Amino acid sequence: MRTAEIRQRFLDFFSSRGHALVPSAPLPTPDPTLLFVNAGMVPFKPYLTGEAAAPWARAASVQKCVRTLDIEEVGRTTRHGSFFQMCGNFSFGDYFKEEAIRFAWELSTTPVAEGGYGLDPGRIWVTVHHSDDEARALWRRIAELPDARIVARGDEDNFWSMGVPGPCGPCSELYYDRGPAYGEAGGPAVDEDRYMEFWNLVFMQYERGEGTGKSGYPVLGELPRRNIDTGMGLERMATLLQGVDNLYETDETRPVLDRAAALAGVRYGDEEQADVRLRVVADHVRTALMLLADGTAPGNEGRGYVLRRILRRAVRSMRQLGYEDAALGELLAVARDRMVDSYPEIADAYERIAARAGAEEDAFRATLRQGTAVLDTAVGRVKEEGGRQLPGAQAFLLHDTYGFPLDLTLEMAAEQGVEVDREGFAALMREQRERARADARARKSGGTADTSALRAVLDAHGPTDWRAWDTLTTESRVLALLGPAGPVPAAEEGEIVTAVLDRTPFYAESGGQESDAGTLSGASVEAEVLDVQRPLPGVVAHRVRITAGALAPGGSVHAAVDPEWRLGARQAHSGTHVLHAALREILGPTALQSGSYNRPGYLRLDFPWRGALSPAVRSEVEEAANRALRRDLPVGVRWMTLPEAKELGALALFDETYGEKVRVVEIGGAWSRELCGGTHVEHASQVGTVALTSESSVGAGMRRLEAAVGVEGFGYLARERDLVTRIAEQLGAPRAELPDRIAGLLDRLKAADRENQRLRQHATDARAAELARAAEPVDGVVTVTATSEEAGGTDDARALATAVRDRLPARAPGIVAVGAPAGERAVVVIAVNRAAREAGHDAGALVRRLLDGRGGGSPGLAQGGGVPAARLAELLARVPRLTAPSH
């Protein structure tokens, strides 16, 4: 039975038993504690915890999930996978244990011909919590299971909670005996390879208090409404029903593995190390396909970094298998064909998916080439200095700059007999993460209040009445003032605090749109609004500076958005939509926005694309955008359900959070139709103009357009016109001839530069030959020094030093020192030939001794600086003494 059919049978079964079928939520989750949905219950968490009323009494879903905590184990065992699908049925105060047990038993054991899975009832075992006599009795009665196949277990295995105070309860797990070929007899307590868990039923009936671990907390009592949360692993059920050994051999994964093996010219099962790599490829390609389909883009932090790491591990594994050509295109197509029956939207998004993955693969293959050279140089330096450990800073540089995963650095260094300072690397990674977290916390809270204080305001007063779509002013009451240490009784002139109002007209930064500017004014206070954020769902926090008087909780204020600011913001946000639509009109549907930012007068838009846009294409995009403005396309807003919006073709960014109803902004109807919570103009012509100012790279396969909008757009164009006029006047040429005239000037400058370089090289060669001829050995070492009169800068000093060194007799030890002034300071370059190095002389060590530790380099060439230029002659005179035998 194919996995897609197993999935559909699950949904059909529970639909026929009164469950609402809930589509899988996108993998990126709005839960601030998670990057991706990692369990089937995550989208239902607010209903299970009582934070929100469930819209259904009972529901069922097949939820896409990604877990990456044990990503290093993927492929090493056949039990770990980073992407999986969890089938679940849920009851919100409706049915409880008896129905949950009956449903699981019926679907598992009903014959295939009658819509079930047809598992042999005699091979199913269950576990229950040791205190749950009710569940044990139900299994005896409903399934007629003997006591021998109902295994009691403790809190560690069969008691569930979220790890924090809230709902908890016992659970019951279903296992299937796969037979003696898979392990020892005796049930799941003996061998969980032979006895495979395939379904877990959680009975949420208690409330737990504070505590740690699986049992270090008190159970406070019964919940007022008991819930059911179950999870049946789709891949595990497929493993059982398809009669294969593990999840890598099911119909959705094995074809990817086989194609990878064919490309690499290996056979699965012949060699364990190759098998591990093939399993990594098969898992990671499928995971990347699903993440890309749900809108995640490769990046350097958060979700984007997880995806980037997964893609790069797949590419690296193919390389380790001996296949160095691009492979992701072929492998993703195989995964698409296997997943599309369950997720048809993959076919629609595949062009975009393949483009992003291909760009990432191209970049990483280039990274491997560049990073390998950097690593080889660093390892060579460690060995030359007699060391055995690559510094953590070097490993961090490879990771941060070249995208090398640490495990790749470890492996490649080990191949050359060098270890890596993992502790030093980890310390630098911790510092980087802490900086990023601090920045994110400061931005989200406006730098003045923590979320616990804001949570208390929300609990006490409810959500903010947000009016930004409807008005620029409100009469508001100050609910709370918050500082870094929590609530403050008042704020006086000059102080900056976070103010929470009962209602507000201010737009809080979101969806790429910067927050509004404006004022709060009252009988005895004036305050400037500096920033507006939503640090918690439902709470709008205003960072304000008191400009006159004092502000206190309970006071009434007139909240007013700066109308000019809002107009500029509306122009920029609508301009972003217009530019996005124009981009897709010219480049096609794969040029899908992956990020944006807009403020009055300015916008930027990121999109996946391989290679820079030519000037002609940029002009086409700009013209398409401004053509829409000239046509004065109408701007409209409609509310609808998310499925209705998708059916209409509205573009959605899956990293955003959407409720039951979504807001669709249209510009010219279907020409631009996006889910958006921002503020917009009423007609396209109100944007004024969109003037592209920049097109650049912001990462592998990702481009960025920047534009000036509205009055600032016209101002930008006027400045460009004035600049062109001045250049034309200076060159004495008509505007139309400027490109040719400037190209001619550049050609002449390049020719002059080449001639200058030739003359300088000639002078250097002549001076080097003269110095080398005049050199005489002292104590067996030929030492040559040259002052700044012979070299006009650091580059010239290096060139002269190496030129003299290369002209000295090869068999005699030779040391050359050249000094060059750099302002009031001086630079010294030392070059050492092979014979001198074999005699024990080291350029790096000589520079450090000469300049008191300021400098370094390789044994053959080194430099240092920072000393007064006036001491240059004295320093060069010391060089022969440093090379004498006594030293």
> Which residues are annotated binding-site positions for Zn(2+)?
573, 577, 676, 680
Amino acid at 230: T
Q: Which residues are annotated as a binding site?
A: 573, 577, 676, 680
Residue spans of beta strands (DSSP E) within 379-472: 389-390, 419-420, 465-466
User: Quick one: which of 356, 361, 332 has its CA closest to 346?
Assistant: 332
Angle between helices 563-587 and 615-630 (to 10 degrees): 120
Are the CB atoms for 3 and 106 separated by under 8 Å?
Answer: no
Contacts of residue 273, defined as CB under 8 A and 6 or more positions apart, other chains included, come to none
Contacts of residue 737, defined as CB under 8 A and 6 or more positions apart, other chains included, come to none
Our measurement of the distance from residue 270's CA atom to the centroid of its chain's CA atoms, rounded to an integer in Å, reads 36
Contacts of residue 472, defined as CB under 8 A and 6 or more positions apart, other chains included, come to 505, 518, 560, 561, 563, 566
User: Quick one: which of 536, 537, 469 has its CA closest to 506?
Assistant: 469
Judged by DSSP in three states, 461 sits in helix
Are the CB atoms for 307 and 301 separated by under 8 Å?
Answer: no
Place of tokens 């400061």: 442
Are the CB atoms for 593 and 705 separated by under 8 Å?
Answer: no
In the structure encoding, which two tokens stand for residue 277, read together? 């790599």
Residue spans of beta strands (DSSP E) within 357-445: 389-390, 419-420
User: Quick one: which of 712, 741, 738 has its CA closest to 724?
Assistant: 738
Q: Are strands 856-857 and 825-832 parallel, antiparallel or unpaired?
A: unpaired
Would you list the DSSP string of 539-595? EEEEEEEEEEEEE-TT-EEEEEE-HHHHHHHHHHHHHHHHHHHHHHHHH-TT----E
Residue spans of beta strands (DSSP E) within 251-410: 389-390
CA distances from 802 to 260, 811, 818, 829, 863 (A): 49, 16, 10, 9, 12
In the structure encoding, which two tokens stand for residue 167, read together? 């709902």
Place of tokens 């080291």: 842
Number of Cβ within 10 Å of residue 236's Cβ equals 19
Amino acid at 741: R
Amino acid at 276: V
For 850, the enclosing helix (H) or strand (E) is helix 843-850
Amino acid at 203: F
CA distance 470 to 197: 54
CA distance 353 to 346: 9
CA distance 126 to 55: 32
In the structure encoding, which two tokens stand for residue 682, read together? 């009423």
User: Quick one: which of 499, 556, 563 has its CA closest to 531?
Assistant: 499
CA distances from 348 to 105, 344, 351, 653 (A): 37, 7, 8, 15
Q: Are strands 83-92 and 219-233 parallel, antiparallel or unpaired?
A: antiparallel
Q: Are strands 496-501 and 702-709 parallel, antiparallel or unpaired?
A: unpaired
User: Quick one: which of 154, 8, 173 has its CA closest to 85?
Assistant: 8
CA distances from 396 to 391, 405, 407, 426 (A): 9, 9, 12, 8
Would you list the DSSP string of 208-227? E-S-BTTTBS-EEEEEEEEE
